[in-house]
């Protein structure tokens, strides 16, 4: 948004990373990249919240302290709607048990729903959803569509190609679903 004097007005941004139980205090490439993205936005005057999965809960915080120590405590957890209920968790557990027993592929559908649900509950007056692309992650794109918030998709690699090059490429239903979620997110994005 541009003010009358041509300056950018501060935005309220949510940075989404859909990956289970990421320890942001662990100094890996992904965590460092996310830290510097958020820090850069904040230095430019924007308000940024980090939203990420923590098991069956979500981390939702504007504090960069989660990158210095493992303070992913209850004070940094976001609210959930239906995905935080006991009934949802019972259904999720049953489906995951069946999935494991019969060898059905993991597609992160419950995780994407949890991200969508957290966005629906926590993103009051946010201007932008900024999501780091990850295979099977479509919760941010879905939330953008439902909430009418512009969606920026950050893509750092072709993850299907990367996995193929590493010798663990996706096959079958997982490959089809990864292609679908990638296409869905790319089509939904206002900017990539």
Q: Could you tell me the residue ranges of all domains in the chain?
A: 12-188
pLDDT: is 145 or 26 the higher one? 145
pLDDT at 176 exceeding the cut of 90: yes
pLDDT at 26 exceeding the cut of 90: no
- Residue of 189, 60, 88 lying closest to 137 (CA atoms): 189
- Position 71 scores a pLDDT of 56
For the chain, give the percent of residues with pLDDT over 70. 94
pLDDT single digits (tens) 87-130: 999 999 999 999 999 999 999 999 999 999 999 999 989 999 99
Q: Is the dihedral of CA 83, 65, 37, 148 positive or negative?
A: positive
pLDDT single digits (tens) 48-87: 999 999 889 999 999 888 888 765 566 788 999 999 999 9
User: In this structure, are residues 135 and 182 in contact, taking their beta carbons and an 8 Å threshold?
Assistant: yes
- Fold classification of 12-188 (topology level): Rossmann fold (3.40.50)
The CA–CA distances, whole Å, from 128 to 41, 94, 112, 142 equal 12, 35, 18, 13
User: In this structure, are residues 40 and 155 in contact, taking their beta carbons and an 8 Å threshold?
Assistant: no
pLDDT at 166 exceeding the cut of 80: yes
93: number of Cβ within 10 Å: 12
- Position 4 scores a pLDDT of 59
The CA–CA distances, whole Å, from 12 to 67, 108, 133, 164, 188 equal 20, 27, 20, 37, 20
Strand partners, 54: 57
pLDDT at 5 exceeding the cut of 80: no
CA atoms of 154 and 107, how far apart (whole Å): 21
- Position 69 scores a pLDDT of 74
pLDDT single digits (tens) 28-52: 889 999 999 999 999 999 999 999 9
DSSP tag of 138:
-
């Amino acid at each position: 948004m541009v003010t009358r004097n041509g300056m950018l007005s501060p935005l309220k941004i949510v940075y989404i990373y859909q990956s289970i139980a990421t320890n942001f205090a662990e100094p890996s490439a992904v965590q460092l990249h996310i830290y510097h993205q958020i820090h850069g936005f904040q230095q430019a005057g924007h308000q940024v919240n980090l939203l990420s999965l923590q098991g069956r809960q979500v981390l939702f915080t504007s504090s960069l302290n989660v990158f210095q120590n493992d303070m992913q405590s209850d004070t940094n957890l976001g609210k959930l709607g239906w995905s935080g209920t006991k009934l949802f968790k019972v259904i999720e557990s049953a489906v995951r048990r069946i999935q494991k027993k019969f060898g059905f592929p993991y597609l992160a559908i419950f995780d994407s729903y949890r991200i969508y649900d957290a966005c629906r509950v926590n993103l009051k007056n946010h201007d932008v959803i900024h999501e780091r692309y990850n295979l099977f992650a479509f919760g941010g794109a879905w939330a953008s569509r439902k909430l009418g918030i512009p969606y920026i998709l950050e893509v750092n690699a072709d993850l299907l190609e990367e996995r193929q090059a590493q010798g663990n490429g996706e096959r079958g239903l997982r490959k089809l679903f990864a292609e679908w979620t990638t296409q869905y997110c790319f089509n939904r994005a206002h900017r990539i």
